[in-house]
Chain A
């Protein structure tokens, strides 16, 4: 800094010709640039504030703003605002939730489904992650992982549709069962909690698989060998070594899958039926009809968000992990 300062003080002529000719040299010797940066970078404190300005603004504006606004609307008796009417504060929207069975049932159904689907995803992907981390040669692990990643890049809608084709009455599963002579009439898989479960597991498996894989991959093979030398059988080795050491991966994977699966909207609409209505569909319903239902929708979204976060928090506490692991 001192060097540039003296150069600036000495005027343009003291700057080496080569520096002036290059683009960045020209920028730095430009008087306007010098005064702007001279002002902005004057002190450490100012530099820090400059660097902090956009992130802090963005977090307040984009991350916290929408949530706060949603919570605020949930206490208003009318929104979006109509001309000439001042919205009043009310608890009615929150009360609506307890008033009607058609709201409470989808709510508990969503939480129950999400728990079941999360556990199913964990059970299905654990052996896959273990195989990948411990049995595949390190050099080919990436290739094996890539094979699993490709289907997950495809979006939610396309994958949901793919499951519809798989499970439909004229779908592949029914075709195979029929040609094997196991069934005569197609099994109606679609529009049930089964088709919804297959779909959600299909959509979320990666969010479980990746944290599990990275946790399992970190376990040194020597630990397992040592346990084997000390006479531990396969089951004991799994229960006493592998499982505790992969706890962090299980915690992050379950948290992610649970949170994400409570938030699906298109998959339940397309794969589920009237008997599997989830809370996301209930919430969305308030935004499809005319305006004044918004506050109730906002209250219900808030209830969903609080419940989902509370359950995740409780789960992380039970498993003995702080939320920190999630961020890494």
Chain B
């Protein structure tokens, strides 16, 4: 590779980084603008928008609601996803590839179609729109991600560990609880935080499955439809900070997993 292409490519990389960060930086900056009008130039700065949203029942309510959904979704997805991984990972049987593809399907179905089919489905199940419906929708979407991460980790578990446990008198359940599960811990933490992230940020499913109480992304969307305001920037910034923290946490636990922590 010649020197010129190398320089060109590093320029492209950094330009891409700028493209990714500039919109977010602008959005955060606007949240401190001392005017109701979004746009440049910024003449005065204020923290009022933040003190306003932290006193707003609407925003705090949406935050609690989103968190409750994210936590329930994460617990459910971890159990189901791990179970699927334990089934699909070590076992060989006919038609495994099809079962695997079907298990992963919700992760790749276009968002609007997933949301619409779930909206119809909860009607069929006679489940009202609202928290339970959103939790179900998010769980369906998140399970494949958990299953994939756990399967990746499970593939590296030495079979001899399980055999040793069995030789020492543990049955399948005890061997799973005391050998497999501790070995999966980093994968479970990583996948769990990732589930929180997916659920916390999800818009399309929450929008179609929710009732009057909005989740945070739905609230931002509703407010945006009636016009931009620095208040929305403040809410979005809070969401951004939370997701960044969750993301870095997930990244760290996944990396520790890939380094191959011992049991």
A residues sitting closer than 8 Å to B (CB atoms) are: 1, 3-4, 7, 19, 24, 27-28, 37, 41, 47-48, 51-52, 54-56, 58-59, 62-67, 69-70, 73, 79-80, 124-125, 127-128, 130-132, 134-135, 142, 144, 146-159, 161-166, 168-172, 175, 202, 205, 224, 234, 255-256, 259-260, 262-266, 269-270, 280, 283-284, 287, 294, 297-298, 301, 304-305, 308, 323-324, 326-327
Please give the distance in Å from A242's CB to the nearest CB on chain B.
10
Q: Which of B26, B114, B170, B197 interacts with A263 by CB under 8 Å?
A: B114
Which residue from chain A places its CB closest to the CB of B12 in the assembled complex?
A127
Tell whether, in the assembled complex, residue A168 and residue B217 are in contact, meaning their CB atoms are under 8 Å apart.
no
Please give the distance in Å from A195's CB to the nearest CB on chain B.
12
Q: Which residues of B contact A156 (CB under 8 A)?
A: 201, 203-204, 217
Tell whether, in the assembled complex, residue A64 and residue B20 are in contact, meaning their CB atoms are under 8 Å apart.
no
Tell whether, in the assembled complex, residue B166 and residue A154 are in contact, meaning their CB atoms are under 8 Å apart.
no
Q: Which residues of B contact A52 (CB under 8 A)?
A: 87
Q: Which of A131, A154, A260 interacts with B239 by CB under 8 Å?
A: A154
Interface SS majority for chain B: helix
In this assembly, does B188 line the interface, its C-beta being within 8 Å of a C-beta of chain A? Answer: no
Tell whether, in the assembled complex, residue B24 and residue A159 are in contact, meaning their CB atoms are under 8 Å apart.
yes
A301 and B2 in contact (CB under 8 A), knowing A1-B166, A162-B23, A166-B26?
no
A158 and B220 in contact (CB under 8 A), knowing A70-B116, A323-B101?
yes
A263 and B109 in contact (CB under 8 A), knowing A66-B117, A166-B26, A170-B38?
yes
Q: Which of A7, A70, A125, A155 interacts with B217 by CB under 8 Å?
A: A155
Tell whether, in the assembled complex, residue B236 and residue A58 are in contact, meaning their CB atoms are under 8 Å apart.
no
Tell whether, in the assembled complex, residue A3 and residue B121 are in contact, meaning their CB atoms are under 8 Å apart.
no
In this assembly, does B63 line the interface, its C-beta being within 8 Å of a C-beta of chain A? Answer: no
Q: Which residues of B contact A55 (CB under 8 A)?
A: 83-84, 87-88, 99, 103
In this assembly, does B10 line the interface, its C-beta being within 8 Å of a C-beta of chain A? Answer: yes
Q: A158-B24, A301-B116 are in contact. List 10 more A-B contacts (CB 8 A).
A: A37-B171, A59-B102, A128-B12, A148-B20, A153-B243, A153-B244, A224-B1, A263-B109, A287-B116, A287-B208
Within 8 A of A (CB), among B64-98: 80, 83-84, 86-88, 91, 97
A-binding segment of B45-53, B54-62, B172-180: B172-180
Which residue from chain A places its CB closest to the CB of B139 in the assembled complex?
A62
Q: 3 nearest interchain CB pairs?
A: A263-B110, A170-B39, A155-B201
A158 and B236 in contact (CB under 8 A), knowing A153-B197, A234-B1, A265-B115?
yes
Tell whether, in the assembled complex, residue B174 and residue A27 are in contact, meaning their CB atoms are under 8 Å apart.
yes
Tell whether, in the assembled complex, residue A266 and residue B117 are in contact, meaning their CB atoms are under 8 Å apart.
no
Of A66, A70, A154, most buried by chain B (CB within 10 Å of CB) is A66
Tell whether, in the assembled complex, residue B20 and residue A202 are in contact, meaning their CB atoms are under 8 Å apart.
yes
CB 8 Å contact bits of B1-45 with A (1 = contact, 0 = none): 110011011101100110111111011001000000111110000
Tell whether, in the assembled complex, residue A259 and residue B108 are in contact, meaning their CB atoms are under 8 Å apart.
yes
In this assembly, does B187 line the interface, its C-beta being within 8 Å of a C-beta of chain A? Answer: no
Tell whether, in the assembled complex, residue B120 and residue A298 are in contact, meaning their CB atoms are under 8 Å apart.
yes
Tell whether, in the assembled complex, residue A151 and residue B30 are in contact, meaning their CB atoms are under 8 Å apart.
no
Q: How far is the CA of A308 from the CA of B172 in the complex (A)?
A: 43
Please give the distance in Å from B79's CB to the nearest CB on chain A.
9
Tell whether, in the assembled complex, residue B120 and residue A175 are in contact, meaning their CB atoms are under 8 Å apart.
no
Q: Which of B12, B80, B120, B243 interacts with A154 by CB under 8 Å?
A: B243
Tell whether, in the assembled complex, residue A154 and residue B240 are in contact, meaning their CB atoms are under 8 Å apart.
yes
Which residue from chain B places its CB closest to the CB of A158 in the assembled complex?
B236
In this assembly, does B131 line the interface, its C-beta being within 8 Å of a C-beta of chain A? Answer: no
Q: How far is the CA of A256 from the CA of B101 in the complex (A)?
A: 14
Which residue from chain B places its CB closest to the CB of A282 in the assembled complex?
B112
Q: Which residues of A contact B101 (CB under 8 A)?
A: 323, 327
Tell whether, in the assembled complex, residue A166 and residue B23 are in contact, meaning their CB atoms are under 8 Å apart.
yes
Tell whether, in the assembled complex, residue A266 and residue B203 are in contact, meaning their CB atoms are under 8 Å apart.
yes
A155 and B243 in contact (CB under 8 A), knowing A51-B91, A66-B140, A324-B97?
yes
Q: Which residues of A contact B255 (CB under 8 A)?
A: 142
Q: Which residues of B contact A202 (CB under 8 A)?
A: 19-20, 23
Which residue from chain A places its CB closest to the CB of B119 in the assembled complex?
A287
Q: Which residues of B contact A62 (CB under 8 A)?
A: 106, 136, 139-140, 143
22 contacts between A and B (CB under 8 A): A41-B172, A55-B83, A55-B103, A66-B120, A128-B12, A142-B255, A148-B16, A155-B200, A156-B201, A157-B203, A157-B217, A158-B217, A159-B23, A161-B220, A162-B236, A165-B228, A170-B38, A171-B39, A202-B20, A266-B221, A283-B113, A294-B120
Q: Which residues of B contact A260 (CB under 8 A)?
A: 108, 110-111
Q: Which residues of A contact B248 (CB under 8 A)?
A: 150
Q: How far is the CA of A37 from the CA of B177 in the complex (A)?
A: 14
Tell whether, in the assembled complex, residue B80 and residue A59 are in contact, meaning their CB atoms are under 8 Å apart.
no
Tell whether, in the assembled complex, residue A146 and residue B20 are in contact, meaning their CB atoms are under 8 Å apart.
no
In this assembly, does B212 line the interface, its C-beta being within 8 Å of a C-beta of chain A? Answer: no
Tell whether, in the assembled complex, residue B143 and residue A58 are in contact, meaning their CB atoms are under 8 Å apart.
yes
CB 8 Å contact bits of B141-164 with A (1 = contact, 0 = none): 001000000000000000000000
In this assembly, does B189 line the interface, its C-beta being within 8 Å of a C-beta of chain A? Answer: no
A1 and B112 in contact (CB under 8 A), knowing A51-B86, A66-B140, A263-B204?
no
